[in-house]
Structure 1
Amino acid sequence: MPPSPPSSRGTLSRALPACLSVAATLALWESYVRLTGISSQMLPAPTQVAWQIWASRGLLWDNTVPTIRATLLGFGFSVSVAFLLSVLLDFLPALRRALFPVFVISQTLPLVAIAPLMVLWFGFDLTPKILLVALVTFFPMLIALVDGYGATEPEIEALLRSMGASHVTRFRLARLPSALPYFFAGLRISITYAVVAAIFAEYAGARAGLGIVILNAKNSFRPDLMLAAVAVSSALTLSLFGATALLQRAMTGWRRAGAAR
C-alpha cells in the first residue's frame, strides 16, 4: 500500500522553524533601524524595502522576466549538457579520467573575469547569460550523476549481466535509477547558483534584468531599490528550489513507496 501524502499540518510544522527565523531576522533588522536612527541611505528598514517592492512593482516585473528567461534557458542547457556528459563519462572511464581535471579547472575561473569576457565575445543578448549560467551550474550535477552511477548495487548489475543484459540495458535499468537521488541533490545545489549567475551576467552587461536594476540603483544611491531587487531575486531562487523539490517528489515516489513496504 503506497504511503499517504504528507498532511498540510505536517508541512506547516516543518516550515514553521524557517518562517520564524526569517521573521525574527526581519524584526531585529527593523528594530535596529528604528532604535539607532541610522540613515535610510545607509540601511533601509524592511518595511521601506517592502514598500519599494510595491511602488516599483512594474519596473521590477519588467526586469524579472528577462532574468527568469536567462535562468531557465541557461539551466535547461546546463542540465542537458551535464546529463549527456555524465552518460559519456560512464561509458568511457578513460575519457572521464582525461576530462575531469578540465571540468574542475572550469570551476576555478572567477565570475568577475569571465562575465565581461562572455559579454565581449557574444554581445548583450541571451547567449552570454545562458553560457554563464551553464558554466556555473553544470558541474555539481555532473558530479552528482557520476557518483550516482557508481553507487549502483553490484548485485543488481551482476544479476543483469548474468541475464545477458548489455551495458546500455544495465545503465537504463540499474545505474540511471540509482543516480536519481544524487541527481536531484546536485540539481538543488545548482539551482541556487543559477539566478545569481544570470544576475551577474546582467550586471556585467545587459539591456534589462534584475542585474541592471541593482546596478542602476547602486549608481543612484538607492539602497531601498537595490534591496528590493535582491529580495525579488531571493524569492525567485526559493521558488525554483521549491519546484525542484516537487519534481523530485514526483519522480522518486517509487523509492518512498518501496521503503514503506
Structure 2
Amino acid sequence: MRNWSYYLSSCFLVFLLLIIWQIGASTYDKPFILPAPGGILAELWELKEILITRHLPATLLIILIGLTMSIILGVSLAMAMNFSRTVERAFYPILIASQTIPIIALAPIFVLWFGYSIWSKVVVTILITFFPITVSTFDGLKSVNKDLRELMLTMGAGKWAIFHNVSVPTALPYFFSGLKVAVTLSVIGAAIGEWLGAEAGLGYFSRRMMTQFNGAAVFAPIVLLSIAGILLFLLVTWLETIFLKWRKSL
C-alpha cells in the first residue's frame, strides 16, 4: 500500500471542490435543486438510523449477490473460452455486443419479469459487473508465457498441472484488475436497479426523496453509496496484496 502522503494532492483537490460547491450552493440559495455539502452531511446525520439499518443492508446484499454470481459466471466463462476455441468464437462476440446495450434501458424489463424482488436488481448488477471480470480473466489466461508452457510440457506436466501452476498465477493480477473495476460498477448497478423499482435500498430512498423535492436527502444516500464503493475497492485491493504476495519478490 502506498503511503498516505501520496493521496494528499487528491484530498486537497476534493476539499477545494467542496468549498467551491458550498459557496456556490449558498449563493444560489435553492437547496431543493443544489444542496450545500454542509446541508447534505446534516441530512445524512439526521437520516443515519433509517439509512444504515434498513436501506444500506438492502443495497449491500444486492451488491454481494451480484458480485458473487458475476465472479462465478465470469471466471467459468473465461476458463471455458481459454480451453476451447469453439466456446471463444461463440461467446466472445456476444460478450462484446452485450456492452453496447444500455443497461438502464433493460432494467425496467427486469422489473416486469422479477417484480420488485431483489433479483431484478441483482440481474442489473450482474450485467454491469460480468464483463470486466470475464474479459480481464480471459486476457490473463491468454497471456501465459509460451516458453514456460512448453517447458512444463517437456517436463511431463499435464494440462491441469499447467493450468494450476502457470495459468492461474499469471491470470490472478488480471482477475483482480477486473474485479476492482467491477466492484465499483456494482454500486452503480445496484443503485440503477433500485431507482427503477424497489421497496428498500439507498437508490430507492434517493428516488423517493426526489419526488419530495428534498435535495439534501437525495444526495445523502448517494454519499453512502460512494463510501461503500470506496470501501469495497479497498477491500479488493487488500485481498490482492494477500493473494499476490509473490509479486513483491520478483
Q: Which residue of 1 aligns with 2:33?
A: 42
Which residue identity is paired with 2:49?
A: G
Residues 1:98 and 2:63 aligned together: no
Structure 2 portions without partners, runs of 5+: none
Q: Give distance in 1, aligned partners of 2:50 and 2:42.
A: 14
Q: Deviations over 1:44-92 (max 9, x none)?
A: 1100000000001112111111000000111111011111111111110
2:113 matches 1:113:
no
TM-score with structure 1 setting the length: 0.92
* Structure 1 residue 165, shift from structure 2 partner: 1.3
Pick the aligned partner of 1:207 from 196, 199, 212: 199
The alpha carbon displacement at 1:224 in A equals 0.4
Out of 224, 231, 237, which is 1:239 matched to?
A: 231
CA distance in 2, matches of 1:184, 1:120: 34
Cα distance in 2, alignment partners of residues 170 and 131 from structure 1? 34
Partner in structure 1 of residue 243 of structure 2: 251
- Does 2:20 match 1:28? yes
Q: Distance in 2 between matches of 1:196 and 1:172?
A: 34
Alignment counterpart, residue 137 of structure 2, candidates 134, 138, 145: 145
Letter in 2 for 1:170: I
Q: Name the Cα RMSD after superposition.
A: 1.3
Instruction: For residue 177 of structure 1, report the CA deviation from its aligned partner.
Output: 0.5
The two structures have a TM-score, normalised by structure 2, of 0.96
Match of 2:67 in 1: 75
User: What's 1:52 paired with?
Assistant: 43
Deviations 1:13-53 (A, max 9, x none): 1222222121111111112223x243212211100000000
Q: Work out the CA distance in 2 between the residues paired with 1:81 and 1:168.
A: 20
Cα separation, partners in 2 of 1:173 and 1:109, compared to 1, 3 Å: same
Give the Cα–Cα distance (whole angstroms) in 2 for the partners of residues 45 and 130 of structure 1.
Answer: 33
Gaps spanning 5+ residues in structure 1: where? 1-5
State percent identity of aligned pairs. Answer: 30
After superposition, what is the alpha-carbon deviation per residue over 1:135-172, rounded to whole angstroms, capped at 9, x for unaligned? 11011111111111111112210110111211111111
State the one-letter code of the partner of 1:74.
G
Task: Map 1:121-160 onto structure 2 (within 5 A).
Answer: 121-160=113-152
Question: Could you tell me how far apart the structure 2 residues matched to 1:205 and 1:94 are?
Answer: 39
Is 1:195 aligned to 2:222, yes or no? Answer: no
2:103–2:127 Cα contact (<8 Å) kept = no
Aligned residues: 249
Following superposition, the deviation at residue 11 of structure 1 comes to: 2.0
Q: Distance in 2 between matches of 1:174 and 1:40?
A: 57
